[in-house]
A and B are shown apart, each in its own frame.
Chain A
Amino acid sequence: MMGEISYLLFWVVLAVSFTALILYGIFFVKQKKSIRNLARLTLLTAGILQTLYILFRYLQTGYTPITSQHETIVFFAWSVTWAYFSFRWRYTVKNFGAFISLLLFILLLLAAGASRTINPLPPALQSWWLPVHAGISVISYAFLALAFCGGIMYLLQERELKSKRFGYFFTRLPSLDSLDQLNSHCLATGFVLLTLGIITGSIWAHQAWGAYWQWDPKETWSLITWFLYAAQIHQRFSAGLRGKRAAVMAVIGFASVLFTLWGVTFLLGGVHSYAQ
């Protein structure tokens, strides 16, 4: 019974997210306010439904669902949605929602492709550190994903302004300043969470395996990612890194995030590769 509801709920989440994407797409083309409000409401609904789905999955499995590929991606999508709303609550960035809903839909599509079978939790993961470490890490990735989207938007808009040929994006994209602000905010939040994720992971590793750090591929790549973002943070707040370079760095950093999240699991293996 629970399994069926959960199964159906995921398809509803996917359908609502797709609707949000379509609505944001229409708003992007037509720029009509009424459509934007509708799109935002749909995305909010999608966020609430994702929360419900994760709760269902939790009740079904008995552990925080961030272990299998499917669960991790759904949790990532959920984090992106709510990170977006937490950002939107304080700042306005024109048409950001369109880009976020696209990212969200791609993530959910990937989740739909991954196996949804429930595996018993390996003993090593049976700890309350699981939600803390994995949750914080994935939420940090969500903020870094926001910075990535903002970076792409910045590069598109900067190209219009520098080339002085104004195409489709010029009127539809926000000002460079607001995109740079987005980068700065999401980078700072994402970096703090990323650091916390690594620290909690390290403490957990000490408890579970007896060593704080053992150069497992996932750990190594997390550290590379962390250094990439630490460099950005340092450059931004001490040397005034901003604009195009910051946007490019945000894109590179996110590529590293994606590799840490998936590339490592599939290509390199290691003790973190539970989700096969």
Chain B
Amino acid sequence: MPSDMILLLGVNHKTTPLAVREQLAVGKGYEEPLHALRSIAGCKECYLLSTCNRVEIVVVAQANAQVEEDIAKLLFGTSVAPEQRQDYLYIYRNNEAVHHLFMVSTSLDSMIVGEAQILGQLKEAYRHADEAKCTGPVLNRLLHKSFSVAKRVRSETQIGASAVSISYAAVELAKKIFGTLENKNVLLIGAGEMAELAAEHLVGQGVSKVVVANRTLSRAMDLAKRFNGTAVSLDELFSQLEQADIVISSTGAPNIILHKKDVKPIMRARRNEPIFFIDIAVPRDLDPELNDLNNVYLYDIDDLHNVVEINKSARDKEAVKARRIVDEETLKFQNWMEGLSVVPTITALRKKADDICQAELERTLSRLQHLTTNEQKAIEKMASAISSKLLHDPVSFLKNESCKEQNDVKVEMIRAAFGLVDKD
């Protein structure tokens, strides 16, 4: 289908600030924008992905500038002036579009490379497009392929194996200590923004209780409310430490607020239940020697940064492998797309018929040794006549100019009916 092309238009966290992304017309919901996309002239198949980091539209459409223009208009609505759009928008065509979609599905294009969420979001988006009957043979194939590429990358590389942000690293470490974080208590000392972020991740992992201890109680109460927790004053710190499993400290105190000699009796009271201290304050809140106590694990901000750095360099190595897989799969998809056009299909059809004729002739003629050469030739002729007469109708159906728009559907149909399966 030489006249059709795959178009991908979108904005993401790299090109577009959040403030702009928030105002995009297609930010919320799938149904309306999909409906609007479908009604754009020349657009045959369409699909929309909308996450907090990106909005991307993929369409299969006739190649002309008007379609791109229409989609961009739909994407930005009235929030961005047309001349500003090109600052934010990226447009990929055909192979580049396929490549980009694979980069997204394998999370190589994500803010945190290797995160697993994006695949779920992609599947969700596809489900919506499918329900709205917006996808056709090309997009179905392309999106399914993007899922399987993501799976391949996951199983063949270690890209998703390690945590590459401070909060993720803290969660990963906590899991190595406690196994599961369910039924664990979190104590926040100080109500800073970093502590809030880290606590958010921990709550996402199912911790049961959050306690906020802060110098000013009102701020503690505000933060505690966010996590359905309780607020206490700093005077209660020691008694709270007896119940806490994970302690995140981020006060602005100039000196160390918790010493080794304070924690030692607490460990006795806790019956040696392990405790994980995360000190993200600068200057530090917690005595570095806490780490020497049995069943006490202390990580400060530098330690966490180190974990992240180690993981990052390991991940970057894996990302190279993953990119190679994406390149490979893009090429395979390109081959399939080319296979969709009419001429190779006709060739493949004829080849299949010839192969069958040859095989059957050999079988039959080897059993009829007494035939003369002329008689043999006559049989061969008959066989090829039958096959070409049989093929005449499907071939002219493929070649039919009157419904060229439907070429991809026709080709898919013929390929399926005659078992001209793609090898991949």
A residues lining the B interface (CB < 8 Å): 157, 161-162, 164, 166, 170-171, 174-178, 239-245
Question: In the complex, what distance in Å separates the CA atom of A162 from the CA atom of B297?
Answer: 7
The 9 closest A-B pairs by CB, nearest first: A240-B271, A175-B179, A177-B179, A243-B295, A240-B272, A178-B179, A242-B272, A177-B178, A164-B303
Least CB separation from A176: chain B residue: B177
Question: In the complex, what distance in Å separates the CA atom of A241 from the CA atom of B297?
Answer: 17
Further contacts, 14 of them, CB under 8 A, given A170-B176, A175-B177, A244-B295: A161-B177, A162-B291, A162-B297, A164-B303, A171-B162, A177-B177, A177-B178, A177-B274, A240-B270, A240-B271, A240-B272, A242-B274, A243-B274, A244-B294
Assess the B176–A164 pair: CB atoms within 8 A: no
Assess the B297–A161 pair: CB atoms within 8 A: yes
Assess the A243–B299 pair: CB atoms within 8 A: no
User: Which of B175, B270, B272, B273 has most chain A Cβ within 10 Å?
Assistant: B272
Residues of chain A within 8 A (CB-CB) of B180 are 177
From known contacts A162-B297, A166-B310, A243-B295, infer whether A175 and B274 are also in contact, taking CB-CB under 8 Å.
no
Q: B231 to chain A: closest CB distance in Å?
A: 28
B residues lining the A interface (CB < 8 Å): 161-162, 173, 175-180, 270-274, 291, 294-295, 297, 299, 303, 306-307, 310
Assess the B294–A245 pair: CB atoms within 8 A: yes
Residues of chain A within 8 A (CB-CB) of B176 are 157, 161, 170, 175-176
Q: B270 to chain A: closest CB distance in Å?
A: 8
Assess the B161–A171 pair: CB atoms within 8 A: yes
Assess the B297–A175 pair: CB atoms within 8 A: no
The tally of CB-CB contacts under 8 A between chains A and B is 51
Assess the B272–A166 pair: CB atoms within 8 A: no
Question: In the complex, what distance in Å separates the CA atom of A229 from the CA atom of B366?
Answer: 84
Residues of chain A within 8 A (CB-CB) of B306 are 164
Question: In the complex, what distance in Å separates the CA atom of A241 from the CA atom of B295?
Answer: 10
Least CB separation from A32: chain B residue: B155
Assess the B294–A175 pair: CB atoms within 8 A: no
Interchain CB contact (< 8 A) of A175 among B175, B270, B310: B175
Least CB separation from A178: chain B residue: B179
Question: In the complex, what distance in Å separates the CA atom of A241 from the CA atom of B274?
Answer: 11
Q: B21 to chain A: closest CB distance in Å?
A: 35
Least CB separation from A161: chain B residue: B297
A-B contact pairs, 20 of them (CB 8 A): A161-B177, A162-B291, A162-B297, A164-B299, A164-B306, A166-B307, A166-B310, A171-B161, A175-B175, A175-B176, A175-B178, A240-B272, A240-B273, A241-B272, A242-B271, A242-B272, A243-B272, A243-B294, A243-B295, A245-B294
Interchain CB contact (< 8 A) of B173 among A161, A240, A241: A161
Q: A84 to chain B: closest CB distance in Å?
A: 20
Q: A160 to chain B: closest CB distance in Å?
A: 8
User: Which of B173, B175, B294, B303 has most chain A Cβ within 10 Å?
Assistant: B294
User: Which of A164, A177, A243, A244 has most chain B Cβ within 10 Å?
Assistant: A164
Least CB separation from A94: chain B residue: B179
